[in-house]
Structure 1
Amino acid sequence: MAKRVMNGIDRRRLLKAVGVAGVAGLAGCIGEGPDDGGNGGNGGDEEPEEGGERITWHAGGTDGTYYPLSGEIKNVVDDNTPHVVQVQSTGASVENVGSLNEGTADFALIQNDIAYFAYNGTGLEEFEGNPIESIRGVATLYPETIHIIVSPDANVQSLEDLEGGTVNTGDLGSGTQVNALQILETAGLTTDDFTEQNTGFGTAADQIRDGDVDAAFIVGGWPVGAVEDLATTTEIEILNLDQGTRDALLSDAEWFAEDTIPGGTYEGIDEDVETVSVQAMIATREDLDEGLVEDVTTAIFDNVDQIETKGDFIDVETAQEGMSIDLHPGAEAYFN
């Protein structure tokens, strides 16, 4: 696979901004989510059936989309295979790449851009010159939509209006932070131009509600629970990205795609919001048994009708669109 570059984005500044946090994710900060026995409350005590395996599945924060979707995938795999899935809440994409590389996760949900960076050894400082070639793709699932939440009191009409403000760009080292800094960079803003805050989605929503930040980036398949909850108690706005900004992003970073949050998705947001998205995908590691990966892939895509979270997007016909890394042979056996 040929390596690509981030054309219009100043990669050196972006790497410096997110590198330290990402290194921590790869160096062993796995499992810093809720203290729930390492499984987020999903699958702690079950035992696999005869011939089955206990599968470790790393998701994301409990306020996003990865965690509830992973819980539904767990149920499908548990019900249709002899295996048992343990779902763990994590810091999501970058951290999950680290856990796959270390062998502490069997499967994980990650963004397709983060998978590309890791596999090709580019895009982020911890990957630069240090490709994580052991990760493999299973399937792409659904668009992860970039939500830029602002308070009406902040009077933010464009990305440029965030200069001098306070912005929550997501958890340190997360895919959300990477995307946020890419988008702000496209608008000409670096971390010298605003005060950066870094938390999970739930805390970011609280900061918007309390007026502690001017904007918060939240990346997930709509509707995102943290945004839904916020919109029911607080008046919010979701920033529209104009066509010029979207065109620039698609030119600078080809993993982005145009996306729309339909009006009515969130209380008080009646008009469509134009934005961009990346793809959520299932990844695994090269050394995982081919039969096990095929079992899990088969269970998921033969029973998509049992998945509600983003189920309208998850389909065998589109499961390789946006696949940014080599496919695991077990997944390839199913799709071929």
Structure 2
Amino acid sequence: MTRKLDRRQFIAATGAVGLAGLAGCTGGGDGDGETTTTESGGEETTTTESGGEETTTTESGNGGSTRLSWHAGGTGGTYFPLSNEFKSVIEGSTDFTVQVQSTGASVENVGSLARGDADFALIQNDVAYFAKNGTGIEAFEGNPIENLSGVATLYPETIHIVTLSDTGVETPADLSGKTINTGDLGSGTQVNANQILEALGVTDYNEQNTGFSQASDQLKNGDIDAAFVVGGWPVGAIEELAATEDVVIVPVDGDDREAVKGAAPFYADDEIPAGTYGLESPAPTVSVQAMIATNAEQPDATVEAVTAAIFDNVDELTIKTDFISKETAQDGMSIDLHPGAQAYFG
């Protein structure tokens, strides 16, 4: 069934997720998970299984005061593996233990920070701006997230419009009338997808909403024609797809690129290099910026220690190391810094 996506429908989708977070509802499990707790050497280890995913958290035997909750994104994107690298350097140079949780990413993570369910999270700089200023997305309209604070920017979040060679989709205009996965409901990916499709003049299409990994499966199975994936290249889910399929990245260039950049101030020129995902030539596109955020309730000393652990140990990271540095960590920062981060960066 083909439908025209209008702003009212988009608002309903994103608002349902975001407003639930803003209302202060207690975050909880969905009842289908299993938690196992063991104690050894004064430490408590909790393993939780939910929806086929497993999260392990270790707490020191001091009442859990050194445990930090870090919300990432889908397991097929860049946020999740990068957050686990941050976990390693933080735990290696501080007394904190870190629980990394897979989530629906930016918009969901803002709600978790607002409620205090997350201590730190990765989000997009455009979503951070919308949330802090109570604008842009209906979930935040008139409901600014006043306790949202910045820590550091990290790397360009590249907009991938992914398809396969046998779909016949080669240009943005070819997306009209197609079935498109725009990302998880309420995610930053969905926000970007809707802005970009509108800017490109694509208003008539079938919409699907899942995370990166599920979208990859949908492409392989022929259930969708294209998917939006936002993340620093190379995105794991797309690499896996390219191992068995002929991946095409729909180019956003020329007048199309200018139209997208004119739709919002957060988009910048970007390019996916040749060789990535098996591409024979570079794919022009646009990007936003990934960043670390926290909330105002985090102690200054905690934020300063976490920030120092990451940026004093960038040489221990393996993901996006061409972009992550102390010198560039305020490029594109769209909200006020937390005092603890300010103390580190000076």
With normalisation by structure 1, the TM-score equals: 0.90
Residue identity opposite 1:207 in structure 2: Q
- Residue of 105, 116, 126 corresponding to 2:129: 116
Q: Do structure 1's residue 251 and structure 2's residue 247 form an aligned pair? A: no
Cα 1:159–1:21 change in 2 (3 A) is farther
Q: Percent identity?
A: 59
1:266-308 C-alpha deviation (Å, 9 max, x unpaired): 12x1210000111010000011100000000011000000111
Alignment deviations for residues 21-70 of structure 1 (CA, whole Å, 9 cap, x no partner): 43345555957799562896565124278996111111111111111001
Counterpart of 2:147 in structure 1 is: 134
User: Aligned Cα RMSD in Å?
Assistant: 2.3
Partner of 1:161: 174
Which of 16, 19, 28 in structure 1 is aligned with 2:15?
Answer: 19
Please identify, of 158-167 and 28-37, the stretch whose mean Cα deviation from structure 2 is larger.
Answer: 28-37
Q: Report if the CA contact (8 A) 1:25-1:173 is conserved.
A: no
- Partners of 2:79 and 2:277 lie apart in 1 by 19
**Is 1:65 the equivalent of 2:81?**
no
> Is 1:286 aligned to residue 296 of structure 2?
yes
Distance 1:164 1:331, change over 3 A: same
Tell me how far apart the structure 1 counterparts of residues 74 and 130 of structure 2 sit (CA, whole Å). Answer: 21
Matched residue, 1:82 = 95
The answer to whether the 8 Å contact 2:164/2:246 transfers is yes
Q: Are 1:204 and 2:215 an aligned pair?
A: yes
| CA 127–197 in structure 1, closer or farther in 2 if over 3 Å, else same | same
Are residues 215 and 116 of structure 1, via their aligned partners in 2, closer, same or farther at CA, if it must alter by over 3 Å? same
Distance 1:48 1:334 in 2: 29
Deviation, 1:129, is 0.7
- Whether 1:321 aligns to 2:331 is yes
**Would the aligned equivalents of 1:109 and 1:281 in 2 still touch at CA under 8 Å?**
yes
* Closer, same or farther: CA 57–272 of 1 in aligned 2, 3 Å: same
Q: By how many angstroms is 1:153 displaced?
A: 2.0
- Residue of structure 1 in register with 2:36 after alignment: none
1:69 partner SS:
helix
How big is the shift at 1:249?
1.4
Q: Are positions 1:100 and 2:90 aligned together?
A: no
Contact between 2:149 and 2:335, CA under 8 Å: does it hold in 1?
yes
Q: 2:69 aligns with which of 44, 49, 56?
A: 56
- For 2:148 and 2:155, the matched residues in 1 are separated by 20
Q: Which residue identity does 1:299 align to in structure 2?
A: A
Q: 1:307 aligns with which of 317, 321, 328?
A: 317
Contact 1:63-1:201 within 8 A present in 2 as well: yes
Whole-angstrom distance in 2 between the partners of 1:31 and 1:185: 35
1: distance between equivalents of 2:12 and 2:275? Answer: 38
Q: Which stretch shifts more, 121-130 or 44-53?
A: 44-53
Is the Cα–Cα contact under 8 Å of residues 48 and 56 in structure 2 kept in the other structure? no
Counterpart of 1:153 in structure 2: which amino acid?
D
Flag the structure with higher strand content. 2
1:224–1:203 CA distance, 2 compared to 1 (3 A):
same
State how far apart, in whole Å, the 1-side matches of 2:313 and 2:61 are. 20
C-alpha separation between the residues in 2 aligned to 1:210 and 1:11? 30
Q: Distance in 1 between matches of 2:215 and 2:170?
A: 19
**Long gaps (5+) in structure 1:** 1-9
CA contact (8 A) 1:92 1:110 kept: yes
1:151 and 1:211 in contact (8 A); partners too: no
In structure 2, what is the Cα distance between the partners aligned to 1:208 and 1:227? 10
Flag structure 2 segments of 5+ consecutive residues without an equivalent. 1-5, 34-46
Q: Which moved more, 1:49-58 or 1:282-291?
A: 49-58
Check the 8 A contact 2:15/2:139 in 1, yes or no: yes
Q: Which residue of 2 aligns with 1:37?
A: 48
Partner of 1:266: helix, strand, or coil?
Answer: helix
For residue 106 of structure 1, report the CA deviation from its aligned partner: 0.5
Contact kept? 2:158, 2:288, Cα under 8 Å: yes
Contact 1:100/1:135 (8 A) holds in 2 = yes
1:288 alignment partner AA:
Q
CA distance in 1, matches of 2:57, 2:137: 34
* Residue of structure 2 in register with 1:235 after alignment: 246
Compute the TM-score of the two structures, normalised by the length of structure 2.
0.88
What does residue 171 of structure 1 align with?
184
Residue-by-residue CA offset, 1:229-288 (whole Å, 9 max, x unaligned): 000011121101121111121122111111100010112x12100001110100000111
Given that residues 200 and 260 in structure 2 are in contact (C-alpha distance below 8 angstroms), is that contact kept between their aligned partners in structure 1?
no
Distance across 2 between alignment mates of 1:293 and 1:215? 39
What is the alpha-carbon distance in structure 2 between the residues aligned to residue 75 and residue 325 of structure 1?
Answer: 27
